[in-house]
A and B are shown apart, each in its own frame.
Chain A
Amino acid sequence: AQSVTQPDIHITVSEGASLELRCNYSYGATPYLFWYVQSPGQGLQLLLKYFSGDTLVQGIKGFEAEFKRSQSSFNLRKPSVHWSDAAEYFCAVVDMYSGGGADGLTFGKGTHLIIQP
């Protein structure tokens, strides 16, 4: 079964600084990869997704992520964070070759992003 690892439980970044959130997946073939954001008291919102093609994908709110097959990684980046980016971030994967989305999204445990003024 696929698994998703987000090594950092908490990350603190100063406002205006760059951000990188790490995500590694364990899976044989090419999965569908996602990043979701959960603001306090809210549901999850899709930031971006990777299915195939260009390995650098752009998302909403100025985020981007890069798929690196050799490292089984899909790290999320933002050049300059804003205080409103403080939230919980989840990396997720769908196994396209074991019933596809019937297994649903497999989520990482999340990374809590704290923005310092």
Chain B
Amino acid sequence: EAQVTQNPRYLITVTGKKLTVTCSQNMNHEYMSWYRQDPGLGLRQIYYSMNVEATDKGDVPEGYKVSRKEKRNFPLILESPSPNQTSLYFCASALSGTGATEAFFGQGTRLTVV
């Protein structure tokens, strides 16, 4: 089954403790992206990747890092999480970054930073 898999689905952590949210897709997609969803703000892009070893900042990249060493994986790293990073995070992938192909979303990771 074609899918985007995020782990974990739920995470509660403390301020400053480094964490990684994994994202994996099995569709051989070139384009991958991370979004955060906050009430009243919709979804905002954090980082995106057009292909392996090609990443770039989205609209709200501060406090986040990403890497794309393999085509299928695109982990989101919070080196020193803060309470304002409490949010619902979504990973997405698409065949290409042209916008002409459908984006597939993972089921989300609900992160709480206390």
A6 and B83 alpha carbons, distance in the complex (Å): 28
Taking a contact as CB atoms closer than 8 A, the residue among A43, A94, A108, A110 that contacts B99 in the complex is A94
A60 and B106 alpha carbons, distance in the complex (Å): 19
Known contacts A107-B43, A109-B42; A102/B48 CB under 8 A: yes
Contacting residues of chain B (1-40) with chain A, CB-CB under 8 angstroms = 4, 31, 33, 35, 40
Known contacts A96-B99, A107-B42, A108-B42; A101/B31 CB under 8 A: yes
- Report, nearest first, the 7 A-B pairs whose CB atoms are least far apart: A94-B99, A101-B99, A43-B105, A109-B42, A101-B97, A44-B105, A107-B43
Instruction: Indicate if A63 sits at the interface (CB-CB under 8 A).
Output: no
- Nearest chain-B residue to A44 (Cβ)? B105
Set of chain A residues within 8 Å of B90, measured between Cβ atoms: 43-44
| A1-44 contact mask (Cβ, 8 Å, vs B): 1 or 0 | 00000000100000000000000000000001000100001111
Instruction: Indicate if A100 sits at the interface (CB-CB under 8 A).
Output: yes
Interface of A with B (CB < 8 Å)?
Answer: 9, 32, 36, 41-46, 49, 51, 90, 94-96, 100-110
What are 29 of the A-B contact pairs (CB < 8 Å)?
Answer: A32-B99, A36-B105, A42-B107, A42-B108, A46-B102, A46-B103, A49-B102, A51-B100, A95-B99, A96-B98, A96-B99, A100-B97, A101-B31, A101-B97, A101-B99, A101-B100, A101-B101, A102-B56, A102-B97, A103-B45, A104-B45, A104-B48, A104-B58, A105-B33, A105-B92, A105-B99, A107-B35, A107-B43, A109-B41
A62 and B30 alpha carbons, distance in the complex (Å): 31
Set of chain B residues within 8 Å of A43, measured between Cβ atoms: 4, 90, 105-108
- Nearest chain-B residue to A105 (Cβ)? B103
